[in-house]
Chains A and B, each alone.
Chain A
Amino acid sequence: MSLASAWSVALLGVDGVLVEIEADIGAGLPGLQLVGLPDAALSEARDRIRAAVLNSGESWPSRRMTLALSPATLPKVGSGYDVALAVALLAADRTVPADRLRGTVLIGELALDGRLRPVHGVLPAVLAARRAGMHRVVVPRGALAEAALVDGVEVHGAARLRDVLAWLRDPTAQLERPGPSRPAPPAVVPDLADVLGQPDARWAVEVAAAGGHHLLLTGPPGTGKTMLAQRMVGLLPELCVEDALEVTAIHSVAGLLTPDTPLLTTPPFVAPHHTSSMTALIGGGSGLARPGAVSRAHRGVLLLDEVPEFGPRSLEALRTPLEDGEVRLARRDGVVTYPARCQLVLAANPCPCAPPDERDCTCAPAARRRYLGRLSGPLLDRVDLRVALRPVTQMDGAGCEPESTTVVRERVFAARRAARVRWGDRGWATNAEVPGSALRRRYRLSPTVRAPIEHSLQMGLLTARGADRCLRVAWTVADLAGHDCPSEEDVAVALNFKDRRAA
């Protein structure tokens, strides 16, 4: 009767739970039992670890072996437990000493020849290990850079199971340690100077970038809607360390990280095609939900190009994430919460025929109404800025060179700094994050400045939420103009952006 245990991590969304893996070897017919709600991939670990152990030059214990994953009621998914299972088994067999297994989390899939393969979600798993008070983590060598992003925990990389066993046997042996972190190559973002004309739309993009507001661009095809939206990421500041870790963790769970760029420091830009399903946009899948586009765009920009072509159900599902900044997805194996604080940019044609000049439109009035009518009121109510693009009539923009990203970014950064100074001690980074109640009480504007909004509310042109959003945009406009507090003019500009008739 010999026992041993090792540690690994089960992921629930971007949170992790420590899993104790116990191995028992006892009398009885030779065989291996795996208990603790394994899924299909984990049940197959039996065959993987047997081959890997034999091919690492160890003998396979021919006795009755039981491997238990605890907490037993938590469903375990995937192949990341292989290394911990194999090591627990060999420690129970007294093939390797168990001293170094105390306080060590092992993550990785085993290849049949004993190599360690990287798995998804290493970063959130290491974060969870640190939270649970573990002080050592062994990960596959390919995931070493990703795991090394976490401070306060010793990270080791191993290429083969053989290396891990040697490390357990010899207290002086060392596994590969992470090298100095390389700065990620600067992402290539197209420049704003490429866009011809469109002063209104450029201004709207600048305001959206400065305040973190949602934006709707409408206009005939070929006027630069998509170009402008793609260039918005270039106007956003780099992510702070906390946000970068959060964004990287989501990408790690989604399996989108490359070994070259372990830490994502630039705001992500996600542009799903308009045939995307609701699951692809919001997240989902069987068992435990996986992150969707809205979470992958967390702290970045989610562009929905040709938005009327999206399925109405997909678009409506965006409503709650936009408001809450997170999605809660309940599936068979539990409820997971993914952060989803993205900036939404919608781009649409004004009608199905969409001629360069609006006067040439041949659509029936009903068809026109129906086209933009696919964007529901509740969704549009959450959009702060609406702007119509005009047809481009000159190739060289009336002789003056359009402003480049660098110039506009200076103004955006200055406005963001002003906002952070104002809200910083309350934990809000941008104007878009400020709750409406704070805008209406603590930072209440004078009645004369507020008058246009009050009037629109009375006329039924604005909803209460719309009024709050209008106030936030007014603050951003004031920040960009260098005002301490929004003036009447700033409020008018904000109200104009919100106007349904504008787009």
Chain B
Amino acid sequence: MTHQQVFFDDVEIGQEIPKLIKGPMTNAHIMRWSACMENWHRIHYDRAYAVEHDKLPDVLVNGSWKQHVLMQLLKDWAGLGGWAWKVGFQYRDMDIPGDIITAWGKVTKKYEKGGSGYVELDVGLRNSRGVESTKGAAVVILPMRGGPPVPYPFPVQ
């Protein structure tokens, strides 16, 4: 992968990081993920159960899948020289087949700690129906120009 490393020095508060787009999501994508993690929750593959029993609009894109999209967004931005340390999010709405899902992040704060650059971001997933299905916040560590590498493994705290 050719990836231009992002440095703490170059990050500005309010800056949006490169978006990550997935989809359109289909039943096949949802089935593939469910089978991959052996999640047999019927709301992800049994439309009759999802709609008639659980009163949902359709089968749902798994929350367990959506969290990896947020993580990928942050990991790809941090690059191999940085570290996507922490992300917390709430699932506020549903994503269903047909949705294109866009992961986004916006820098809210930056500070230096122990020779590394800490960047806080608001993050979320927005679908092509305009619904913000997932919202959260993250902390990413970035190297500083001329500074030491971000430690790996990242120190447990």
Chains A and B belong together in one complex: no
Measuring CB to CB, which residues of chain B are less than 8 angstroms from any residue of chain A?
Answer: none
Measuring CB to CB, which residues of chain A are less than 8 angstroms from any residue of chain B?
Answer: none
